[in-house]
């Protein structure tokens, strides 16, 4: 029985985990990873050196061919580079049976989606149709969702609109951050795509259309999304800290808010929003705005980082003399 020829397309660590799973399962799944597609090398770090993606590094370590087209668009025809037409021809020459896509970051036109015999499968980090788009992990935490997961989707034109082949759920704990949830979903994605490739024809036969009435979109995260508004309730602020690069201003200095513990229901306050109520060795307690019931809670901040400095845990904050009871976290400009 001939092996199924797989093209893998992905770029960041999330995709690397899935690729490693497929590499480990090649014999079990009777597949051959014919090539890996990933984003062109980018400048990174203080030295701004060209850096390969995690997916490229893994592929090269296993002797897998790597392709890094800039675009698959037929309109892309540079004088000194590879055109979209040539990129499509190169893909077709690999004679792919199926293409597995995970956080690739490049638009795949219909001509590309139709190139593999069984089309293109996407590993998406949400339970579709909830959280289509660029930032499903962050948006799920911000929204207070208690469950998320991974969907294996048959790719179609449109943003994450294709039919669903497989879903796997994952609880969101009160202590989960974007990073911890990312790691759980990355592992889940590897297991999910393995299950689908083991019985692909059957999963495609029983594919489920998405309910457009339930669809919502995980918009790309902007830097301003991380600025804490202390008039928000403590639960929303704690989710913001877990989900984003959260920051505020303290005594005129910008400070990153790195971590916070779950809110204790009994920690009720009547202090002004943003006020530092207590600086302790276990947590810095700050007042927040009222929730929907008009109750104000304290938030338990356990990690801060001042500009140009190292991250401080709660005990280091307490011993730093950088913040005292009665100080205020403020919005930019002191508001």
On whether the CB atoms of residues 299 and 255 are closer than 8 A, the answer is no
What residues contact 191, with CB distance under 8 A and at least 6 apart? 21, 168
158: preceding bond cis by omega (within 30 degrees): no
d(CA 217, CA 207): 22
Residue 154 CA: distances (Å) to CA of 50, 100, 291: 33, 10, 41
CA 38 to chain centre: 17
Joined tokens for residue 19:
């690729």
35: number of Cβ within 10 Å: 20
Of 257, 268, 264, 261, the residue nearest 329 (C-alpha)? 257
Which residue positions form the known binding site?
126-129
CA 149 to chain centre: 12
- Run of H or E including 317: helix 314-318
Binding residues for (6S)-5,6,7,8-tetrahydrofolate: 126-129
b or e along 239-255 (b: 16 or more beta carbons within 10 Å of the residue's beta carbon)? bbbbbbebbbbbeeeeb
Q: How many CB atoms lie within 10 A of CB 260?
A: 24
């Amino acid at each position: 029985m001939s092996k199924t020829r797989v093209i893998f397309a992905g770029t960041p660590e999330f995709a690397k985990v899935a690729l490693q799973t497929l590499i480990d399962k090649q014999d079990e799944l009777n597949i051959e990873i014919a090539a890996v597609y990933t984003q062109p090398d980018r400048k990174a770090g203080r030295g701004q050196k060209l850096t390969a993606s995690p997916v490229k590094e893994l592929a090269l370590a296993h002797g897998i061919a790597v392709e890094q087209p800039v675009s698959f668009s037929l309109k892309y025809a540079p004088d000194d580079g590879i055109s979209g037409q040539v990129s499509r021809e190169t893909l077709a020459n690999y004679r792919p049976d199926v293409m597995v896509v995970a956080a690739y970051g490049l638009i795949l036109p219909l001509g590309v989606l139709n190139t593999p015999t069984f089309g293109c499968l996407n590993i998406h980090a949400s339970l579709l149709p909830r959280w289509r788009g660029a930032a499903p992990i962050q948006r799920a935490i911000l929204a207070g969702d208690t469950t998320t997961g991974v969907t294996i989707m048959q790719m179609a034109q449109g943003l994450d609109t294709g039919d669903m082949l497989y879903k796997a759920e994952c609880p969101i704990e009160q202590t989960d951050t974007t990073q911890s949830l990312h790691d759980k979903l990355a592992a889940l994605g590897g297991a999910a795509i393995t299950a689908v490739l083991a019985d692909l024809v059957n999963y495609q036969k029983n594919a489920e259309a998405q309910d457009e009435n339930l669809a919502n979109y995980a918009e790309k995260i902007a830097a301003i999304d991380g600025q804490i508004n202390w008039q928000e309730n403590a639960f929303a602020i704690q989710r913001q800290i877990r989900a984003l690069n959260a920051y505020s201003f303290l005594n005129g200095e910008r400070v990153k808010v790195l971590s916070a513990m779950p809110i204790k229901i009994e920690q009720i306050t009547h202090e002004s929003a943003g006020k530092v109520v207590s600086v302790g060795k276990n947590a810095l307690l700050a007042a927040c705005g009222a929730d929907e019931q008009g109750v104000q809670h304290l938030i338990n901040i356990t990690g801060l980082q001042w500009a140009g400095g190292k991250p401080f845990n709660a005990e280091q904050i307490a011993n730093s003399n950088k913040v005292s009871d009665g100080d205020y976290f403020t919005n930019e400009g002191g508001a």
